[in-house]
């Protein structure tokens, strides 16, 4: 099955070339068919770097995000362009692991899962250089979501997940920001798609600046979680 890696970039001039080259070098050595879809919302020269790379790598697609720019809208642009049967959002700052990408592909292709979720909070996960506050808020938010949705998944908010394309097409995400990962996971679980959660590795960025303020995004996460929970309740009454 062909895999589409969707990589969003916003002002990642230190990572753009490093990430694309690292991903290519790694995936080219695996026995898989793949494409990279880079979706860019930068104004720091990242776009020019990515454009140069498209001449080097034939199976790389480069697209601009749509305005107003957002992590969620960027992923949605990538989903529309993806031609693979497996779709995996992968962060442009190399925080996610390519070994985990291969585990996702294996679980979908060989074990028939519709979705695979990566968890930073289960036994076996390796999290490096994370800031205490962000990690604690994220852990707490995921505990809360687990209770609200009675879910065994310990990392619903993480966007690094793998999906069959046909699943994404039915989930119809609306989140414009970082909460798109949570929206897709919750809607997918409610729709009873077969999924599993595995421990993953996550390393904090070494260069550049984080675009995500965890405190600012909390209202988006809460609103979306309650909206999904209450529409689920209405449907089961
Ligand atoms: N196209 C696009 N990409 C974005 C946008 N916001 C963030 N990104 C990218 O999405 C990825 C994740 O964003 P980060 O800023 O690293 O967010 P984070 O991983 O939660 O934050 P850190 O843990 O501090 O790295 C990075 O590759 C960003 O460049 C956006 O509005 N548009
Ligand atoms: Mg990051």
For the chain, first and last CA: distance in Å? 39
The pTM for the full model equals: 0.96
Q: Is 74 in the pocket of ligand 1 (CB under 6 A)?
A: yes
**In the prediction, which pLDDT does 130 show?**
85
Give dist(CA 233, CA 169) in Å, integer: 23
**In the prediction, which pLDDT does 157 show?**
97
Q: Which helix (H) or strand (E) holds 184?
A: helix 180-190
Residue nearest to atom 5 of ligand 1 (CA): 71
* Cβ contact 36:2 at 8 Å: no
Give dist(CA 92, CA 74) in Å, integer: 12
Ligand nearest to C-alpha 130: 1
> pLDDT tens digit string along 15-55?
999 999 999 999 999 999 999 999 999 999 999 999 999 99
**In the prediction, which pLDDT does 209 show?**
86
**Ion ligand 2: residues, Cβ under 5 Å:** 93, 95
Give dist(CA 149, CA 233) in Å, integer: 11
Q: Is 40 in the pocket of ligand 1 (CB under 6 A)?
A: yes
Give dist(CA 24, CA 37) in Å, integer: 12
> pLDDT tens digit string along 117-165?
999 999 999 999 888 888 999 999 999 999 999 999 999 999 999 999 9
* Cβ contact 118:155 at 8 Å: yes
**Mean pLDDT for all residues in the chain:** 96
Ramachandran angles phi, psi of 64, nearest 5°: -85, 145
Residue nearest to atom 21 of ligand 1 (CA): 210
**In the prediction, which pLDDT does 214 show?**
84
Residue nearest to atom 24 of ligand 1 (CA): 210
Give the pair of three-digit tokens for residue 1: 């099955």
DSSP state of 196: E
CATH class of the domain at 3-236: alpha beta
Residue with token string 């291969």: 102
């Amino acid at each position: 099955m062909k895999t589409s890696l969707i990589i969003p970039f916003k002002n990642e001039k230190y990572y753009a070339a490093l990430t694309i080259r690292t991903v290519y070098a790694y995936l080219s050595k695996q026995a898989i068919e793949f494409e990279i879809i880079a979706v860019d919302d930068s104004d720091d020269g990242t776009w020019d770097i990515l454009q140069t790379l498209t001449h080097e790598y034939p199976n790389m697609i480069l697209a601009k995000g749509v305005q107003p720019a957002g992590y969620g809208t960027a992923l949605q642009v990538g989903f529309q362009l993806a031609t693979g049967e497996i779709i995996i959002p992968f962060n442009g700052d190399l925080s996610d692991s390519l070994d985990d990408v291969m585990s996702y592909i294996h679980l979908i292709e060989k074990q028939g899962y519709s979705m695979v979720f990566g968890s930073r909070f289960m036994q076996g996960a390796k999290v490096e250089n994370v800031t205490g506050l962000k990690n604690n808020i994220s852990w707490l938010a995921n505990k809360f979501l687990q209770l609200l949705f009675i879910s065994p998944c310990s990392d619903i908010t993480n966007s690094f997940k793998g999906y069959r394309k046909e699943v994404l097409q039915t989930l119809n995400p609306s989140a414009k920001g970082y909460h798109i990962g949570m929206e897709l996971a919750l809607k997918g679980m409610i729709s009873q798609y077969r999924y599993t959660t595995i421990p993953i590795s996550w390393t904090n960025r070494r260069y550049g600046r984080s675009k995500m303020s965890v405190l600012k995004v909390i209202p988006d996460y809460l609103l979306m979680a309650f909206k999904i929970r209450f529409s689920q309740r209405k449907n089961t009454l």
